[in-house]
Amino acid sequence: MKKWQFWLGVAISAFFLYLVLKDIEFAVLWQETLKANYWLILPGVAAYFVGLWVRAWRWHYLLRPVKAVSTKAMFPIVAMGYAGNNIFPARAGEVLRAVVLKTKEGVPISASLATIIVERVYDGVVMLAFIFVNLAELSRLTEDIVLFRDFTIQDVALWGSVLFFGVLVVFLAAAMMPKFTLKVVRWLAERLVPERFRQKVMDIAVRFLDGLASLSSPVEALMVFLTSVVIWLLETVKYWFVMHAFRFVISFFALMLMNGVVNLATTIPSAPGYLGTFDLPGIKVLGAYGIPAELAASYTFVLHFALWFPVTAVGLYYMWREGIKWQKVTTLPDENDSQVVLE
């Protein structure tokens, strides 16, 4: 990554962590952390890995029009990708997924990245759905959940809807009208792209549309959406188990709201592992439900680590087994040079 991108993420994370910690009593935070029953986190970890397997199945499903790759073969690549996202800034793990799939299965990188972007768009839509489901409950709380200054969860829902639903509509239209889409891309390329690069742009566009092919049918698109709902409900189950390790109880719907808010917030550039951008929104949501700041912070920090560490450890194991050279991950390779990250 460019150094300025890395340091910008670090600065944003430092700012968010400052907002988290400035009003926390650290002695109380430590006591709350010591009181937790950490054995109750283990079934939550198991639920998360079931969700990771469903993610692998979803990616297999999206890629079927390009190439049939089994869920079993997809799972290690998905784990490596999530480890990469947790270690590197700018979601470099997504590039790693596409490159490893190109190397092992011969799937064009452009097509893989298209399916990965589709995944992220559907994830964003589901996160927004989790927020919208709880808007009635939000209105009953004594005060708005303010994330920063006058920026509330309702604002997150509004602007997130514009972004994710807008992108989803564009992708669905492109998948259902590929010939028209290519005409538009060609028209734009002829006016905006130097002549020597136009053919490469068109080749990438064709492969990208191949990756969107699974959205050409409303039934297929609905299947991807329902699978995404299952994935995020399983992750919310992990939130629920970790909650029971601490001394407070809120509804499963409240945890869905927290899940939706924190994961939308992690789209903000940050240091590796989403430091701060995950924690501040989570603590704010819990605070709106009357959870003391130190208890909310202890729960959120432990939850963050429980989400980060297991999949990172598994992903690093698979990377070690495959001989991934991490220093090369930061360079997006050419379609014909997929060996750039492998021994």
Digits of tens for pLDDT over the chain (343 positions)? 557 777 888 899 999 999 899 989 999 999 999 999 999 999 999 999 999 999 999 999 999 988 999 999 999 999 999 999 998 877 888 989 999 999 899 998 988 998 998 898 899 889 888 888 877 776 666 455 666 666 666 676 667 777 777 888 888 888 888 889 989 988 988 888 888 888 888 888 888 888 788 788 888 889 999 999 999 999 999 999 999 999 899 999 999 989 998 998 888 888 888 999 999 989 988 988 889 999 999 999 999 999 999 999 999 999 999 887 665 555 545 555 444 343 3
The pLDDT value given to residue 30: 96
Q: Residue 166, Cα to own-chain centre: how many angstroms?
A: 18
* Collapsed DSSP state (helix, strand, coil) of residue 151: strand
Give the pLDDT score at 338.
Answer: 43
- The residues with which 152 forms a beta bridge, in sequence order, are 146
Separation CA 78–CA 98 (nearest Å): 10
| pLDDT score recorded for residue 28 | 95
- Residue indicated by tokens 């490469």: 200
Is the separation of the CB atoms in 90 and 81 below 8 Å? no
Rounded CA-CA distance 66/69 in Å is 9
Q: Which residues contact 119 (CB under 8 A, 6 or more apart)?
A: 55, 58, 59, 62, 228
CA distance 136 to 138: 5
If 0-12 CB within 10 Å is exposed, 13-18 middle and 19+ buried, where does residue 130 land? buried
pLDDT of residue 146: 61
Neighbours of 277 (CB within 10 A): 25
- What pLDDT sits at residue 228? 95
Q: Nearest-CA neighbor of 157 among 117, 120, 126?
A: 126
Half-sphere exposure (CA, 13 Å, Cβ side) for 330?
A: 11
Rounded CA separation 78/69 (Å)? 13
Q: What is the pLDDT of residue 334?
A: 53
190 vs 182, 200, 205, 208, 253, CA distance in Å? 12, 12, 14, 19, 50
Enumerate the domain spans of the chain: 3-341
Tally Cβ neighbours within 10 Å of residue 241. Answer: 19
